């Protein structure tokens, strides 16, 4: 099992409205959607864990959606701790969303691959996301790491508020996560299951013109019993980014 996974994690991606979410398939007028994006964050937080020991992280992404099918790529380039080894991570994933009335069910998988550090092993995860198209968009996400069998479960809600002519949008989201042999395997904890972390997020998106969007967000991660036992501190993450939607 490799030490970490990608980005903010599938749970927050599933409820995030300010940035891109691979878990949501939305068909546009030409029948497809292509998003190219870049983001810069002061921390690399994944499921409440500061992966890079406080180092900032630039992230690039490409997401292609047609109907219910979505394929995506995320790339990360940074270093692990100040003056530490370099990180070069390439993540490839795909999922399909089925819709029944107001219920969306997304099934997919993602491969985390590393060119650096050389001793980090590539890992594959499967995931399922169930969401309701109602007020506060309740979303349940289950992530299964195929190599270790560890599971990471979370429940989230989100809300979007148009502020100005539908071009300036405020989004709010929160998730709470339960760990079943996921981080306990990485940190070699005696406790095999328990509450992992709590995340709060707020973001502001400006639809500049045409396909161009820019956004900024703040995310607060709070360590619960599993991550407390692992010695993880609460962290505040600031991010800015831009996307082109075609």
The 3-class secondary structure across the chain, one letter per residue, is CCCCCCCCCHHHHHHCCCCCCCCCCCCCCCCCEEEEEEEEECCCEECCEECCCCCCEEEEEEEEEECCEEEEEEEEEEECCCCCCEEEEEEEEEEEEEEECCEEEEEEEEEEEEEECCCCCCEEEEEEEEEECCCCCCEEEEEEECCCCCEEEEEEEEEEEEEECCCEEEEEEEEEEEEECCHHHHCCCCCCEEEEEEEEEEEEEEEEECCEEEEEEEEEEEECHHHHHCCCCCEEEEEEEEEEEC
- Res. 12 pLDDT band, cuts 50 70 90: low
* 5 found inside a domain: no
Q: Are strands 33-41 and 235-245 parallel, antiparallel or unpaired?
A: antiparallel
- Residues of the chain with pLDDT > 90, as a percent, come to 74
Averaged over 168-180, what is the pLDDT?
A: 96
CA 219 to chain centre: 12
- Res. 97 pLDDT band, cuts 50 70 90: very high
Which domain does 44 fall in, by range?
Answer: 10-245
pTM recorded for the entire structure: 0.88
Residue 27: per-residue pLDDT:
45
pLDDT over 80 at 109, yes or no? yes
* 49 found inside a domain: yes
* 158 found inside a domain: yes
Residue 7: per-residue pLDDT:
45
- Res. 105 pLDDT band, cuts 50 70 90: very high
Considering its fold, how many domains does the chain have in total? 1
pLDDT tens string 137-167: 999 999 999 988 999 999 999 999 999 888 9
* 4 found inside a domain: no
Residue 8: per-residue pLDDT:
53
pLDDT over 80 at 10, yes or no? no
CATH of the domain at 69: 2.40.160.40
* 156 found inside a domain: yes
pLDDT over 90 at 227, yes or no? yes
pLDDT over 90 at 168, yes or no? yes
* 1 found inside a domain: no
Residue 152: per-residue pLDDT:
96
* 3 found inside a domain: no
Residue 14: per-residue pLDDT:
64
pLDDT tens string 32-55: 899 999 999 999 998 889 989 899
* 125 found inside a domain: yes
């Amino acid at each position: 099992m490799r030490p970490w996974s990608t980005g903010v994690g599938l749970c927050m991606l599933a409820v995030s409205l300010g940035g891109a979410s691979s878990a949501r398939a939305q068909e546009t007028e030409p029948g497809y959607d292509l998003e190219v994006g870049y983001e810069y964050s002061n921390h690399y937080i994944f499921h409440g864990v500061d992966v890079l020991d406080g180092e900032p992280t630039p992230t690039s992404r490409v997401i292609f959606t047609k109907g219910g099918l979505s394929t995506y790529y995320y790339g990360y380039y940074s270093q692990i701790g100040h003056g530490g080894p370099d990180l070069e991570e390439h993540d490839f994933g795909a999922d399909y969303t089925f819709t029944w009335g107001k219920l969306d069910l997304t099934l997919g998988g993602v491969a985390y691959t590393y060119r650096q550090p050389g001793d980090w092993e590539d890992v594959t995860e499967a995931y399922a996301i169930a969401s309701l198209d109602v007020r506060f968009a309740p979303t349940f996400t289950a992530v299964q790491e195929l190599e270790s069998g560890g599971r990471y479960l979370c429940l989230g809600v989100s809300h979007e508020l148009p502020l100005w002519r539908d071009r300036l949008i405020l989004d709010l989201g929160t998730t709470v996560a339960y760990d079943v042999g996921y981080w306990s395997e990485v940190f070699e904890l005696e406790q095999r299951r328990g509450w992992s972390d709590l995340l709060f997020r707020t973001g502001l998106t400006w639809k500049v013109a045409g396909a161009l969007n820019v956004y900024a967000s703040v995310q607060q991660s709070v360590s619960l019993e599993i991550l407390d036992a692992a010695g993880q501190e609460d962290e505040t993450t600031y991010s800015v980014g831009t996307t082109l939607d075609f």
